[in-house]
Structure 1
Amino acid sequence: MTSPTGTIRLYRPDPGTIRESKRCGRATFSVHPAAANRLRIAACGDVDAVNGRALGHFVEAHTGASQQLILDLRAVDFFGTQGFTALYYISVQCTRRDIDWMLLGSPPVHRLLRICDTSGELPLCSDLELALKRLDQVAQYRRRIASAG
């Protein structure tokens, strides 16, 4: 006996409908729509060995809904090395899914990135306006490439 085969269609959820908040250890992660194809995921509190992996998985779980991501860590009070591991994981996931992303950080995040990301590979921005401007430029570049190809 053969099992039936067919096509299952998967659609990205509308980013405008996604709103979620999750408490993990001494941090809270939340997701908010920022634009039609852009999400803002924020963390506040302490990102450490207890919840660093959870941050990476929280971002991964929501990146399928958008083409661009702003990871807002400006309200993070403590950022341990497990947080850096989470950022590296997020970077890999965004690259695999072809998602453009920018990172906003608090002083503890900047301090750790000066130590761990000396080559500046992570897309760290100094403020929200600059992050939005960079994402707009990337989107514009992608549209030009798509229309030329």
Structure 2
Amino acid sequence: MNPTQQVLANPIIWMILGLALVSYSVLLHLIFSRNSSEESQMKTTGWLQTLPAMLSALPLLGLLGTIIGLLQTFGQMAAGGIDVQQLLSSSIADAMLTTEVGLLMVIPGWVMLSALQRKQQNMQLRIQAQHSQQLEPQFTELQGAQ
């Protein structure tokens, strides 16, 4: 099996790529959404609680893939009949690939999450300013009536 086939046959890599795709699509949708209503802000706030957990799972899945790969390598070594040096060099490299993919997928996610958090803070400040402007005339009327 060539290296590309090994990567495509690894279910952990598919899980990492799938979770990264879902996370990225949600992040990009929320970042580039032009809706600045309070409803949109509440939706974004809900995702801001979920997205960090989703992104944190990416390197953990990579680590899981590495552990599974190492366990398979040690199982093959115990079975014997295979050149140990060749087995170790190829199998450990394959096992470490899942950790690498998990780390590579989480870094852009963290950057996008930071951008979304910044956008959310700016949106909250705008909504607070709008509410203050709406309440100021009423407050002035109440003060004048006293």
TM normalised by structure 2 equals 0.29
More strand by share: 1
Structure with higher Rg: it is 2
More contact order relative to length (CA 8 Å, sep ≥ 6): 2
More helix by share: 2
TM normalised by structure 1 equals 0.29
